[in-house]
Structure 1
Amino acid sequence: MLMNRYQGMVHSQARKAFLSEEEAEDFTQDVFIKAYESLSLFRGEAQFSTWLFQIAKFRLTKVNKKKSHIFTDWSEDVATVADKSKPSVVDILDKEETHLTLHSLIAKLPKSYQLPIRLHYFENKPLKEIANDLNIKLGTIKSHISRGKDLLRKWWSHEIEG
């Protein structure tokens, strides 16, 4: 029902942002999939259409990192409704995607780098404790974390640049 109601509005804006009808349709579908997945985040403090615009704007920002098209029509609508004192759906979705991307990159690291990084950065364990728990020299733990972080930085820059 919601898709039927707002699909035309999202699609007409997508047509302004993309060169082909196929890209506009794909983008429209992507926005509604993300909206469906994030429906539990809708707080009802703004109109559904405004919330949907925020999702579309966020998704388009991701696309625009790879393309040079500019999507401006929704910017003013979103800016006038957005409450700066609370995290917006865009902020929440961005953190969620960042979190998922980071964890997928960590999973690609060699096993000897993964565990020390997870223990130190996600479980806040001191390096000495990690070295004792894993029965590995402290210098080796530091080296594994440093090398793992270097790989993550490299991979992260490739993720962001596309």
Structure 2
Amino acid sequence: MKRYQGMVFSQAKKAFLTDEEAEDFTQEVFLKTYESLSQFRGESQFSTWLFQIARFRLTKVFKKKKLPITDWKEDISSVADHSKPSVVDILDKEETSHNLRSLIAKLPKSYQMPILLHYFENKPLKEIASDLNIKLGTIKSHISRGKDLIRKWWSHEIES
């Protein structure tokens, strides 16, 4: 849980309005993961499997939430307010995020771990270098090379 809670929580913060909702969702995901642990077959990385559980739980939460019908003036103002993402936007973003995670899972481990720690757990580069016992310049290089590979694979997937 310690290893992946930052990843799940950072994604939950993007989907929910308050940190409290994001924390509750994160706990729910880890509870569901624990309950389903016997079903993990090891065909993918644990982080990929965990992310799938989080994604399905997020979809379920938003399907359960039935927003009350409000006054038409409020509806118009909410449509005009582009700062609040719609459920469709959030789910689309989750799909993109899932595709990105799949590409990250294909990276060599030396590139994968620094990218996950920096972008999904929001760890500073110096801390990553210290934790992995690798020079800071090497961490920067691995992240850069990993991002280049992801860009290459991403553009290839879009073309096909």
Q: Map residues 48-127 of structure 1 onto 2, 5 A cutoff.
A: 83-84=78-79, 85=81, 86-127=84-125
Please tell me the root mean square deviation across aligned C-alpha atoms, in Å. Answer: 2.7
How many pairs does the alignment contain?
Answer: 94
> Cα offset for 1:103?
0.7
Larger radius of gyration: 1
User: Which of 141, 144, 156 matches 2:154?
Assistant: 156
Stretches of structure 1 that go unaligned for 5 or more consecutive residues are 1-36, 48-79
The normalised TM-score by structure 2 is: 0.50
> Cα offset for 1:124?
1.5
Equivalent position SS for 1:103:
helix
Q: 1:56-102 CA distances to partner (integer Å, 9 max, x unpaired)?
A: xxxxxxxxxxxxxxxxxxxxxxxx99x52443232022111011011
For the residues of structure 1 that align with 2:142 and 2:114, how far apart are their CA atoms?
7
Change beyond 3 A, Cα 1:38–1:128: closer
Q: 1:110-159 CA distances to partner (integer Å, 9 max, x unpaired)?
A: 00000011111111211111111111111111110100000011111122
Change beyond 3 A, Cα 1:140–1:92: same
For the residues of structure 2 that align with 1:44 and 1:132, how far apart are their CA atoms?
46
For the residues of structure 1 that align with 2:90 and 2:106, how far apart are their CA atoms?
25
For the residues of structure 2 that align with 1:126 and 1:114, how far apart are their CA atoms?
15
Residue 135 of structure 2 is matched in structure 1 by: 137
Residue 59 of structure 1 is matched in structure 2 by: none
For the residues of structure 2 that align with 1:46 and 1:159, how far apart are their CA atoms?
39
User: Which of 62, 70, 91 matches 1:41?
Assistant: 62
| Segments ≥4 residues shifted beyond 6 Å | none
Identity level (%): 73
Stretches of structure 2 that go unaligned for 5 or more consecutive residues are 1-57, 70-74
